[in-house]
């Protein structure tokens, strides 16, 4: 895999993983 | 009247909505689309479409559903009527009941193949078939398309698994929202993710399965998927494919999100929960769906053969290539069963959603008890599902897939967007909670929609989405709708023009078209009756 492939793989996976993590963090975060 | 059904827990709601969105397409369609449309570069139009069309439409449909639910409307027919004061609104909205029902008629049959293949994996029924052509004959023999009788003497096995799948679907919807659909999602979705992660780990640890062919390895598979080919970005069809993938994967335009969202409480959040659903779907698609079928295929068959399989279609990848691969893996029967059960879970969590709008119409507007309504839906699916099975070889399903799974989805999404953006009228209220004060004048169009969407939101929607919803989303949908029609009309295998179809097969395709028209008119008539009863 070339460097472009790695960049798109890391960014693609990173974006969706960050989004799901942030969403579930907000959902499960205890409300004050 | 009995109390309105509700989701029992928020996580149950997110999983049920994600289950609705995560379907066979996440694991079979997405990797093909990426590989065929520029690899990593495809992710540019894909994420553009996700942010500019997918997320706003997801919020729009959630908002529509929750708003309609406040007036006791669980279907788009009632929701359009509540939003737009026009006598035709409910009839346009009724398409959101017929689309999912028609969709379910062929989707449940495809879903039943995954159940059958998980059984065939466990019993090693297809083990010993090493060539692609023979495995294709196995699939066609099972579907009754090939009459060779080499593997299956009749279509009975296919009907048997279809009936089991249909009964399972009816059983789940017959148990209701929280005890049926939500419980299914709470079991099936974590298992789907677990199976997906196990399969991804298995793929990543494959290395080079056959050392006689050092270029056939997992990294080459990922390279095929992700190495960017930027020249593809100048091709309009790649942008169309990316927007289409986002559209299909999020289950937009099916009328199902609105029905699920109608079971929210008035002050439940739409924005964060809707975004969480999209995120769950995207994780299942980009991380899991993109890392199984194509990389494993390259590792075993090499790049050239995989490119050929990818061009042939999703079913060739899932039901022809994968069963051959599983035979070459240690514990292949186990991984094979896991793959097909994963697909089955992805399928059933979507198909129960497809049946829910008609269930809701029968229950709410005609007062039919839940169990009986489920049986009625089951009977309709049985009767209208039979031609899908028997006429598969004549291209019956292709008509459904184009008109329902492509054109009408875009049409409904366009209608709901136009109503939400330009015709939505709702009373202007002050305050929050149950004791909202009616000020006596209306807010119209997107101002009303935006206010409704933002109400009780746990995260603030950036204002830029107001303009995206108002200008970009309708434009996107018009381009999609026209683009798909244009693409088909130019194709050598045009579904609209039935190009290259033998004249004796055309009759079956016309039967499919008339069935679609009949169901749409029939549902429209039911809606007319329902409103007359209400008056």
pLDDT, tens digit, for every residue of B490-525? Answer: 988 898 888 888 888 899 999 999 999 999 999 999
pLDDT digits (tens, 9 = 90+) for B343-384: 999 999 999 999 999 999 999 999 999 999 999 999 999 999
Residue B85 confidence (pLDDT): 86
Residue B153, pLDDT above cutoff 90: no
CB of B226 less than 8 A from some CB of A: yes
A8 and B228 in contact by Cβ < 8 A? yes
Structure tokens at B77: 């027919």
- B15 exposed, middle or buried (CB, 10 Å; 0-12, 13-18, 19+)? buried
- Tell me the mean pLDDT in the region B250-256: 94
A7 touches chain B (CB under 8 A): yes
Residue with tokens 């788009």: B76
Q: At B442, give phi and psi (nearest 5°).
A: -105, 155
B233 touches chain A (CB under 8 A): no
Digit-coded pLDDT (tens) for B176-217? 999 999 999 999 999 999 999 999 999 999 888 888 888 899
Residues of B in contact with A9 (CB under 8 A): 40, 222, 226
Provide the shortest C-alpha distance from residue A23 to chain B (in Å): 5
Which of B219, B286, B287 has the CB atom closest to A1's CB atom? Answer: B219
Q: Which of A6, A11, A15 to mutate to test the interface with B (most CBs of B within 10 A)?
A: A15
Chain A residues close to B40, C-beta within 8 Å: 4-5, 7-9, 12
Q: Give yes or no for A14 touching B (CB within 8 A).
A: no
Could you tell me the two tokens for B28? 């079979």
Q: Which of B10, B43, B225 sits opposite A27 (nearest CB)?
A: B10
Cβ density class B350-364: b for 16+ within 10 Å, e for less: bbbbbbbbbbbbbbb
Q: For the range B244-247, what are the long-range contacts, defined as Cβ-Cβ under 8 Å and sequence gap of 24 or more? A: B244/B406, B244/B480, B244/B484, B245/B25, B245/B29, B245/B30, B245/B33, B245/B46, B245/B49, B246/B46, B246/B49, B246/B50, B246/B53, B246/B54, B247/B49, B247/B53, B247/B54, B247/B409, B247/B410, B247/B413, B247/B480
C-alpha to C-alpha distance for B237 and B199, rounded to whole angstroms: 32
Residue-level pLDDT at B440: 47
CB contact at 8 A, B226 and A9: yes
* For residue B148, pLDDT beyond 90: no
Q: Is B1 on the interface with A (CB under 8 A)?
A: no
Mark yes or no for CB contact A27/B47 under 8 Å: no
pLDDT at A32: 57
Q: What's the CA gap between B261 and B21, in Å, rounded?
A: 13
For B533, counting Cβ atoms within 10 Å of its Cβ (0-12 exposed, 13-18 middle, 19+ buried), the class is: exposed
pLDDT in tens, B255-277: 999 999 999 998 999 999 999 99
User: Looking at the predicted structure, is the pLDDT value of residue B150 above 90?
Assistant: no
* Mean pLDDT score, B275-304: 93
How is B118-139 classified by DSSP, letter by letter?
HHHHHTTTTTT--SHHHHHHHH
**Is residue B15 predicted with pLDDT exceeding 70?**
yes
Q: What share of chain B in percent tops pLDDT 70?
A: 96
Q: What is the DSSP letter of B2?
A: P
Cβ-count burial B381-413 (b if 16+ within 10 Å, e if not): bbebbebbbebbebbbbbbbbbbbbbbbbbbbb
B113: pLDDT strictly greater than 50: yes
Q: B527: which 2 tokens?
A: 């809606």
Instruction: Find, in chain A, the residue whose alpha carbon is nearest to that of B18.
Output: A20
User: B410-461: per-residue pLDDT in tens?
Assistant: 999 999 999 999 988 876 555 555 545 554 446 678 888 999 999 889 999 9
CA angle, B86 then B88 then B90, to 5° = 95
Q: What is the pLDDT of residue B433?
A: 52
- Choose among A22, A11, A17, A30: nearest CA to B41: A11
SS3 content of chain A, % helix, strand, coil (to 5): 80, 0, 20
* Confidence category of residue B528, pLDDT binned at 50, 70, 90: very high
Token representation of residue B283 = 């994780």
What pLDDT does residue B312 have?
86
- B425 vs B193: CA distance, rounded Å: 41
Place of tokens 């093909």: B32
d(CA B30, CA B526): 37
pLDDT for position B370: 94
Q: Read off the pLDDT of residues B31-86 as tens digits, 9 standing for 90 and up.
A: 999 888 888 899 999 999 999 999 999 999 999 999 999 999 999 999 999 999 88
Residues 6+ apart with CB under 8 A from B277: B14, B17, B18, B21, B58
- Of A5, A19, A24, which has the smallest distance from its Cβ to B282's Cβ? A19
Q: Rounding to the nearest 10 degrees, give the CA dihedral for residues B238, B48, B185, B364.
A: -100
Task: Say if A6 is an interface residue toward chain B (CB within 8 Å).
Answer: yes
**Residue B441, pLDDT score:** 47
DSSP B206: -
Which residue from A9, A17, A26 is facing B283, i.e. has the nearest CB? A17
Mean per-residue pLDDT of chain B: 91
Is A9 in Cβ contact with B226 (below 8 Å)? yes
């Amino acid at each position: 895999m070339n460097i472009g492939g790695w960049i798109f793989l890391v960014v693609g996976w990173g974006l969706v993983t960050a989004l799901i993590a942030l969403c579930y963090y907000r959902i499960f975060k205890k409300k004050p | 009247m009995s109390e309105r059904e509700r989701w029992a827990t928020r996580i149950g709601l997110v999983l049920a909505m994600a289950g609705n969105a995560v379907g066979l397409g996440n694991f079979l369609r997405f990797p093909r689309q990426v590989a065929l449309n520029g690899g990593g570069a495809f992710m540019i139009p894909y994420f553009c479409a996700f942010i500019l069309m997918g997320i706003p439409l997801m919020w729009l449909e959630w908002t529509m559903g929750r708003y309609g639910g406040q007036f006791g409307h669980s279907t788009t027919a009632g929701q359009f009527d509540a939003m737009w004061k026009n006598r035709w609104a409910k009839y346009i909205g009724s398409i959101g009941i017929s689309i999912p029902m028609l969709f379910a008629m062929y989707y449940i049959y495809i879903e039943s193949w995954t159940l059958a293949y998980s059984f065939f994996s466990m019993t090693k029924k297809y083990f010993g078939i090493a060539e692609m052509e023979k495995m294709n004959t196995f699939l066609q023999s099972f579907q009754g398309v090939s009459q060779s009788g080499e593997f299956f003497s009749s279509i009975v096995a296919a009907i048997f698994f279809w009936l089991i799948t249909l009964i399972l679907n009816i059983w789940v919807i017959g148990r209701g929202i929280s005890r049926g659909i939500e419980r299914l999602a709470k079991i099936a979705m974590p298992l789907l993710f677990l199976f997906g992660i196990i399969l991804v780990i298995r793929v990543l640890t494959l290395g080079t399965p056959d050392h006689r062919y050092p270029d056939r390895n997992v990294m080459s598979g990922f390279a095929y998927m992700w190495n960017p080919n930027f020249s593809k970005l100048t091709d309009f069809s790649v942008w169309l494919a990316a927007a289409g993938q986002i559209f299909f994967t999020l289950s937009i335009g099916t009328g199902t999100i609105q029905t699920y969202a109608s079971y929210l409480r008035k002050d439940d959040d739409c924005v964060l929960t809707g975004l969480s659903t999209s995120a769950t779907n995207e994780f299942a698609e980009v991380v899991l769906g993109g890392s199984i079928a194509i990389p494993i295929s390259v590792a075993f068959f090499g790049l050239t053969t995989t490119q050929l399989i990818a061009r042939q279609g999703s079913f060739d990848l899932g039901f022809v290539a994968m069963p051959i691969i599983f035979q070459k893996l240690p514990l292949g029967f186990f991984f094979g069963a896991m793959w097909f059960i994963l697909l089955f879970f992805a399928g059933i969590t979507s198909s129960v959603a497809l049946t829910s709008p008609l269930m809701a119409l029968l229950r709410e507007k005609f007062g039919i008890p839940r169990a009986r309504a489920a049986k009625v839906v089951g009977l309709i699916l049985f009767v209208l599902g039979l031609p899908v099975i028997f006429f598969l070889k004549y291209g019956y399903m292709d008509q459904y897939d184009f008109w329902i799974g492509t054109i009408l989805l875009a049409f409904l999404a366009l209608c709901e967007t136009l109503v939400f953006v330009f015709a939505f009228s709702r009373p202007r209220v002050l305050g929050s909670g149950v004791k909202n004060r009616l000020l006596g004048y209306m807010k119209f169009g997107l101002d009303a929609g935006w206010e409704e969407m933002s109400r009780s939101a746990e995260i603030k929607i950036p204002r830029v989405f107001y303009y995206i919803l108002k200008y970009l989303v309708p434009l996107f949908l018009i381009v999609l709708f026209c683009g798909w029609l244009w693409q088909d009309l130019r194709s050598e295998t045009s579904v609209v023009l039935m190009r290259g179809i033998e004249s004796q097969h055309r009759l079956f395709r016309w039967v499919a078209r008339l069935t679609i028209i009949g169901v749409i008119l029939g549902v429209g008539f039911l809606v007319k009756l329902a409103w007359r009863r209400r008056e």
